Amino acid sequence: MPILTANAIEGYKKDTERKIAFARYKIGNIYYDVPIHRRERLPDGRVAVYFSITPAAGKSVTISEVQLIDTNNDLWASKTENIVISNVQEGVLYRFTFDFKEV
C-alpha cells in the first residue's frame, strides 16, 4: 500500500521543475552552460527538461557528458554520453525525463 499521496508525488514533480536552473554539456575537457529550453509534463506524467546543444565549432565534436545544475549551482543530474555533432549539423535538442513513483 502506497504511503505517499498523489499530492506528495505532485510536489516532487513541481520541486524538480523549479529546482533545475540550467544545463551543461562537455566537449573535451570544457563544460558549456546553456539555458533550459523547455520544461513540460509528458502525457504519462513524467517531467521532461529540454536544452539545446549547439557548439560553435567548424569541425566535428563529441559531447561526452550532459548535466543539469540546480538553483544552488550544484550538480543535480549527470549522464555520460557519446554524441557526435558534425560540422553540417546545427545541433541537438537533448531531453532529461524524470518519473516519480513510490516503490
Per residue in 9-42, pLDDT (tens digit) is: 999 999 999 999 999 999 999 999 999 999 999 9
Coil, strand or helix: which one is 2? coil
Residue 100: count other Cβ atoms within 10 Å of its Cβ: 16
Lookup result for grid cell 557528458:
65
Cα separations in angstroms, 54 against 8, 21, 94? 37, 19, 11
* Among the listed residues 66, 80, 79, the one whose alpha carbon sits nearest the alpha carbon of residue 23: 66
pLDDT at res. 64: 97
Helix (H, G, I), strand (E, B) or coil at 10: helix
Q: For 55-89, write each residue's pLDDT tens digit.
A: 876 788 999 999 999 999 999 999 999 999 887 66
Report the chain's C-alpha Rg in angstroms: 16
